[in-house]
Amino acid sequence: MQKYILFLIFVLTSSALKAQDDFFEPKSTLGGYGELHYNVSKTDGATESSKTLDFHRFIIFFSHAWTEKWSFKSELELEHNFVSGSEESGELELEQAYINYHHNDAFGFQVGIILPSAGFTNEYHEPPLFLSVERPDYAKYIIPTTWFGNGAAIYGRLDDFSYKMVVMEGLDGSEISATKGIRSARLKGYQANAQELLYNGRVNYNGINGLVVGGSFSYNDAYAGLDSTISTTLVEIHAKYDANNVIAVIEYGNILYDGKRMGFPIEKATGYYFDLGYDLGSSLKIEGRLIPWFRYTEYNTAASVVGGGSGEKANHYKKWLLGLSFKPMDEIIFKLDYGAKKNELSDKKDILFNLGAGYMF
């Protein structure tokens, strides 16, 4: 199956070669984004709060267009300002680096380090594009944003529908866990094992002004060593409306595992969140967008476990946030939010307060 899909991509790539516009001037483009966070949390029973001040992300985009149709796009990311050997102490990652061919609006392809299309945040995660200081928990524990790897994709738009189909490196089945789901199973393009490839497809409807509705499907027999795999199927749906001063977002995802191989105990992970906000900028006659908003999140990275019991409660969280975001322009945002996160098994609650500033260009 993998050989046929790779052959199809090769044929489509070869057939796309055409003469380019002789008048086009090659050009390079520089961009990027970043965000500073101040986070305060206090757990029930704790005597002190945890307080951190972190320049969470600094990203540089670089692209070069050789012709109107052929280009190169890349993204280099530094997390937590300083790298000292562990994820908690900073990371330096080549998050995207691919050759892009844009034949027309209906068809294009990418080859290199690419992003699968699952949910909103994995592909579009610049700070001004989401309301909270931190990315939604759902985008971390259900869809492991940012999820990237070596592979190829075709994409395009037909009338009011857009699509993307991806074939890329698979997941490390030995790293799928009850606490982090598939997050630690990402191989991130580093000498990735291609024993079992991952297949991803997404379709969105864009026919109504301000509205995007769609869903995606991802499948991988995650290689776990010694010719063993864990069948992993992620299905998600999403919708966003941003018009007439209303901002509303909802995402729901479900991961099914084959829990019988290698004694793997987890059968399912699931989660969702919704945002609702209203832009007061025009009403208050201020320049920019001032958005009070509310979010509710629920997720469980081990929603169904072989034998049931407390294992299904240990990773079940509920969280609410109230926030205020100000965008003096579309590329700059200042944020604050306050809320609580609760675990079903321990019944302990974390009180959260966050401040943030972000930019993109």
- Asked if residue 229 has a cis previous peptide bond (ω within 30° of 0), the answer is no
Determine the pLDDT at residue 105.
Answer: 97
pTM: 0.91
Task: Compute the half-sphere exposure of residue 276: CA atoms within 13 Å on the CB side of its CA.
Answer: 3
| CA 163 remoteness from chain centre | 17
- pLDDT for 144 equals 97
Average of pLDDT values for 248-268?
Answer: 89
Using DSSP, state whether 116 is helix, strand or coil.
coil
Average pLDDT, integer, range 19-45: 89
Contact status, residue 242 vs residue 210, Cβ threshold 8 Å? yes
In whole angstroms, give the CA distance from residue 53 to residue 241. 32
CA pair distance 138, 58, nearest whole angstrom: 22
Handedness of CA 168, 172, 175, 181 (dihedral sign): positive
Section 211-239 average pLDDT = 95
pLDDT at position 18: 46
Distance CA 292, CA 326 (A): 9
* Domain boundaries, given as residue ranges, for the chain: 30-360
How many other CB atoms sit within 10 Å of the CB of residue 201?
A: 19
- Across the chain, what does the average pLDDT equal? 93
d(CA 41, CA 43): 7
How would you write 286-323 as a 3-class SS string? CCCEEEEEEEEEEEEEEEEECCCHHHHCCCEEEEEEEE
pLDDT digits (tens, 9 = 90+) for 56-106: 999 999 999 999 999 999 999 999 999 986 656 789 999 999 999 999 999
Q: Are 231 and 199 in contact (CB under 8 A)?
A: no
Q: Which two tokens stand for residue 260?
A: 């019988």
Q: How high is the pLDDT of residue 308?
A: 85
Question: Quick one: average pLDDT of 260-288?
Answer: 93
Cα separation, 242 vs 212, in Å, equals 9
Report d(CA 317, CA 238) in Å as an integer. Answer: 20
Mean pLDDT for 108-115 is: 98
Domain 30-360, classified CATH 2.40.160.10, yes or no: yes
Residue range 165-186: average pLDDT? 97
List pLDDT tens digits, range 296-341.
Answer: 999 999 999 988 889 899 999 999 999 999 999 999 999 999 999 9
Q: How far apart are CA 205 and CA 238, in angstroms?
A: 11
Indicate whether 274 pLDDT > 50: yes
Q: How far apart are CA 231 and CA 215, in angstroms?
A: 20
Q: What does the block give as tokens for 113? A: 């380090």
Which residues, 6 or more positions from 3, have their beta carbon under 8 angstroms from its beta carbon? none
Structure confidence at residue 213 as a pLDDT band (50, 70, 90) = very high
122 Cβ contact list (under 8 Å, min separation 6):
115, 116, 139, 143, 145, 146, 147
| pLDDT for 30 beyond 80 | yes
Give the three-class secondary structure for 259: coil
- Work out the number of other CB atoms within 10 angstroms of the CB of residue 181: 27
Q: Is the pLDDT of residue 153 over 80?
A: yes
162 touches 111 (CB < 8 A) = no
Tell me the C-alpha distance between 37 and 335, whole Å.
Answer: 9
- pLDDT given for residue 19 in this prediction: 44
